[in-house]
Amino acid sequence: MVAAASVVVAVGTVTGMVSALDDGQPSKDARPLVTRSPGLGPPPGSPTPSRTSAAPSASRSASPKHAPAPSPTGRKPVVAAPALLYRHPDTQVRDWVDTHPGDARRAVIASRIADRPSAVWFADFTPSTIAARVGAVTSAASARGRVPVVVPYAIPQRDCDGASEGGAPDLAAYDAWIDGFAAGLGSGEVVVVLEPDSIAQSDCLTESGRADRFASLARAGRVLKAANPRARVYYDAGHSDWNPAAQQAALLRRAGAASPASSDGVFTNVSNFNRTGDEIAYARRVLAALGGPAGLGAVIDTSRNGNGAPADGEWCDPAGRRIGQAPTRSTGEAGIDAYLWVKPPGESDGCRGTPGTFSAEYAYELAR
């Protein structure tokens, strides 16, 4: 169940967050046009989120795929830190901060949300401009030595025609749109969160429709990685209160997520509120059931999970939530490649405004 599309990632609590901030931005008049993220509704018949949260893993060992080789000299090898995530300047929260210098909430919202890197969503079906718009983001990030997080969100019948309906008119058009998206990826590192809800929330489709969607998603991964071998593509694993891990892994396998030609792993908790420890455990179960080559990992959306999911299962802008740990690619958790802010804190699920629009009141509530 995804509660809303977004542009960021987080985990934990506000206190003691380790940031991965960009250290400067181009001027506002140099900003490229970027689509606002829509709100995502829950899938029909989705289970109520559980309040039971496993404690975060105590293990802080490095992921095996990043573990350094033993030094022949006996000296401890030097391991380069992963490149920092990119903070794109053209966001709704940044616009609000820039235009409300006297607002008493501004300092909190600026420091705890606007100054943190988040994902950039491409949610409108605009074939003629998609390559240029993606390229504007990836080239700006590359120039700063940062890694952008981008979200293609245009699969036909997305959100099962719910609150975030839209996208391409059919899969042939979607395939062509993905070709354009891939053309904008450039040659630098980039993280691609491929189509939130597209796999976990595919039960509204007929079996043939699901098979066609999965074939298109597998193709999308291949096209994206062929266009930029440094692109890291992650597939939709839902979250820990949705499909059982084995069931989700079976769906992911059909969509190409076990193939290194298409995939670098899975993402969980996009726009949701489940605690990081629960998502780590779930992601590992999914990856174990998925199989595939060594090195597949997971990224977790931590943008609004500082207090976990609400007891009543409310998914639409629920009260009492908090931002979590800041986005980072240094998780210290085996198999967990990054904590991301995919859903930008403060962008509405549809109850505090039109889905995907920024609410300063909600942002302040999440951040303070």
Residue numbers annotated as active site:
159, 197, 349
> In sequence order, which residues have a C-beta less than 8 Å from that of residue 62 and are 6 or more positions away?
332, 334
Determine whether 279 is exposed, middle or buried from the number of CB atoms within 10 Å of its CB (0-12, 13-18, 19+). buried
Q: Which of 186, 109, 144 is nearest to 30 (CA)?
A: 144
Buried b (16+ CB within 10 A) or exposed e, 10-46: bbbebeebebbebeebeeeeebbebbbbbbbbbbeeb
Is 342 in contact with 270 (CB distance < 8 Å)? yes
Q: Which of 183, 175, 173, 136 is nearest to 35 (CA)?
A: 136
Helix 360-367 / helix 92-99 crossing angle, nearest 10 deg: 100
The long-range contacts involving 252-255, CB below 8 angstroms and separated by at least 24 positions, are 252/199, 252/286, 252/290, 253/290, 253/291, 253/292, 254/211, 254/214, 255/198, 255/199, 255/213, 255/214, 255/217, 255/218
Is 93 in contact with 363 (CB distance < 8 Å)? yes
